[in-house]
Structure 1
């Protein structure tokens, strides 16, 4: 299949193209504003499907709205009609197409041209009236507050919030691309298509999350970033980090026994830590009433010992990096771990709760 993408240097197009390039059954044609109309005409005549994503939303002159939106659409439609083609077209319009401004008017004119083309040629036309879109590669200081704020906070620049209660309707670029691909491969009975997942968030909510993302490198507490809007926003935030900020240094505690580093704290599922222990050294000798942990030796070898604090029942485990074996620290058992090897032992730990200095639930008692 030959697929044409207009506006190929744009935010949505870049994300879409990376998916299309992975499909060996697709021959990709990319048109951007630096290309000539002759190239666009040649590509349009060849294409079996057109993603019409080119558009103007921040012109120097009002006339550029119409030149880059409705007039460009007319040129594509005219080429197809003169060539007797009925090529399906997917068009990225805007929710502003219903508003009385020149950007919206130019998008609405483009929609009407496509609908007329569909009637004349019988071609399928798919119109997406997209709201605010966010995700990696959006241009900051252009038309996306999310892109601008992600750039600013990752570059230590201030965020300007005029009204934190202002609500935004947002879609994530990966969801947009997935919907586009579904339409490409499966079609759609509708001419006007909406993205299934729409987020409605206030500027204050977005600002708070971005500040938490940045702060997480200091207090090591990461917000919920596994699902939904937080997942999408965190991925977007990370994509704006400058190269020199891809890494950060942990602050550890070191003594003659070895070192201890907290790695990551979650809001409700505990924390991850790492410790090193010198040969022959024993750590621990304490118990918890409720707190529980998982130990994994990732380098070296060790003996983990338990003793029930009431019955004095004893159990032990010899562990090493030769076998990735997790040992659970059970409430009500005092426990310790001894480096039984000749090299430094490295232990990865997970605790079900973040450490609370005021209520550590940790009581010294030798095994």
Structure 2
């Protein structure tokens, strides 16, 4: 299958071409601003599917709307028709096609041209009226406020917000590409398509989330970035980092026993830390009523001891880094860990709640 992608160097096109190759499509013809009309004509004569993503949304004058949107679409359709081949086509339009402005009118005309082609030729056609698309590689200070906010937040530049409560609907670039690629199997009906999920939100909420992402390096407390909109926005935010922003320091506290450092705190899934212990050193000697911890020795050998604070029952176990073993602390059992090896011991630690100095749920009780 030969796939022609116009606007291949643009935000959506660049992501789409990479994902197409990931899906095993190797014969992808990328069309960009440097492609001549003659070259485009040749490409269209061989095409088995066309993604028409090229367009103009920031012209020097209004006439460019028509040239870059409706006229280019008409050229593509005329060429496909003249070759007498039934070639499916997907076109990126905009929600502005519903509005009476030069950009919207040019997009609406492009839509109608594609629709007429599909109905006349019998070719499958797919029209996407994209809302605000966000994700990696979108140019900041151009036509995406999300890209601009990400870039400015990371680079300590001011963000201009006229109305924080202004509503906006967003779709994520990965979801856009997955939807576009799904068209290739021919199982989707012609007509208007939409990308799911859509994320209805406000400009102010986006700005607040981005500020939270930035502050997390100081507070060590990350937003809920594992699912949904927050996951997609966090990924987008990270993509605007320059290499010198790829790393950051965290506090590290040391004494005669070794060092302790908190790595990451979450809002509803606890926190991650690590500590070291010199040979013969014992850490712990306390219990919790509710808090749970999970330990993993990643270097060295350890002896864990437990004592039930009510019955006095005792238990101990040994573990080492060569045989990874998660050791749980159980509420109501005092516990400690001793380095029984000849080298420094390193232990990863997860706790199901963030440490609260005002209510630590940690009570000293050395073990025998």
Q: What's the TM-score bracket when you normalise by the shorter of the two chains?
A: over 0.9
1:324 corresponds to 2:324 = yes
Counterparts of 2:23 and 2:263, CA distance in 1: 38
The residue number in structure 1 matching 2:195 is: 195
- Aligned partners of 1:190, 1:69: CA distance in 2, in Å? 21
> Could you tell me how far 1:34 is from its partner in structure 2?
1.2
SS of residue paired to 1:21: helix
Instruction: Tell me, in whole angstroms, the C-alpha distance in 2 between the residues paired with 1:215 and 1:27.
Output: 44
C-alpha contact (below 8 Å) 1:97/1:104 kept by paired residues: yes
Q: For the Cα contact (< 8 Å) 2:124–2:189, is it kept in 1?
A: no
Say whether residues 1:223 and 2:223 are aligned partners.
yes
1:54-73 deviation digits (Å, cap 9, x = unpaired): 00000111111111100100
Instruction: Give the whole-Å Cα distance in 2 for the aligned partners of 1:298 and 1:186.
Output: 50
The alignment's TM-score, normalised by the length of structure 1, stands at 0.98
Equivalenced residues, count = 367
Q: Write the deviation string for residues 308-362 of structure 1: whole angstroms up to 9, x where unpaired.
A: 1111111011010011100100111111111111111000000010000100011
CA apart distance, 1:48: 0.1
**1:119 Cα offset (Å):** 2.5
CA distance in 2, matches of 1:189, 1:26: 25
Corresponding position of 2:276 = 276
Residue of structure 2 equivalent to 1:334: 334
- 1:311 and 2:297 equivalent? no
Q: Output aligned runs, 1:42-81, within 5 Å.
A: 42-81=42-81
Partner of 1:234: 234
CA contact (8 A) 1:154 1:242 kept: no
Stretches of structure 2 that go unaligned for 5 or more consecutive residues are none
Residue 3 (structure 1) aligns with: 3
| Structure 2 counterpart of 1:184 | 184
- 2:300 maps to 300
Structure 1: 5+ residue runs without aligned partners? Answer: none
Residue by residue over 1:274-321, the C-alpha shift from the partner in whole angstroms, topping out at 9 and shown as x without a partner, is 001111111110111111101110000110100111111110110100
* CA–CA distance in structure 2, aligned partners of residues 239 and 24 of structure 1: 25
SS at the partner of 1:259? strand
2:285 partner SS: strand
Displacement of 1:110 in angstroms is 0.5
CA distance in 2, matches of 1:159, 1:303: 53
- Residue 252 of structure 1 and its aligned partner are, at CA, apart by 1.0
Q: CA deviation at 1:124?
A: 1.1
Cα deviation per residue 1:23-65 (whole Å; 9 max; x = unaligned)?
4344110000111111111111111000000000001111111
CA distance in 2, matches of 1:241, 1:156: 12
1:140-289 aligned within 5 A: 140-289=140-289
Shift of 1:183: 1.2
Question: Aligned to 1:57, what secondary structure does the other structure show?
Answer: coil
Offset, 1:190: 3.7
Aligned counterparts of 1:23 and 1:253: Cα–Cα separation in 2: 48
Structure-2-length-normalised TM-score: 0.98
User: SS of the counterpart of 2:147?
Assistant: helix
Is the contact made by 1:126 and 1:190 (CA closer than 8 Å) also made in structure 2? Answer: yes
Runs of 4+ in 1 over 6 A off after TM superposition: none
Q: How far apart in 1 are the matches of 2:345 and 2:70?
A: 67
User: CA-atom RMSD, angstroms?
Assistant: 0.9
Counterpart residue number, 2:352: 352
Structure 2 distance, partners of 1:118, 1:289, is 68
Cα 1:182/1:214, change in 2 over 3 Å: same
Contact 1:291 1:352 in 2 (8 A): yes
1:233 counterpart SS class: helix
Whole-angstrom distance in 2 between the partners of 1:190 and 1:120: 13
Shift of residue 225, structure 1, vs aligned partner: 0.8
1-side partners of 2:227 and 2:95: how far apart? 26
SS at match of 2:22: coil
Does the 8 Å CA contact 1:288/1:331 hold for their aligned counterparts? yes
Q: Secondary structure, in 3 states, of the residue corresponding to 1:353?
A: coil
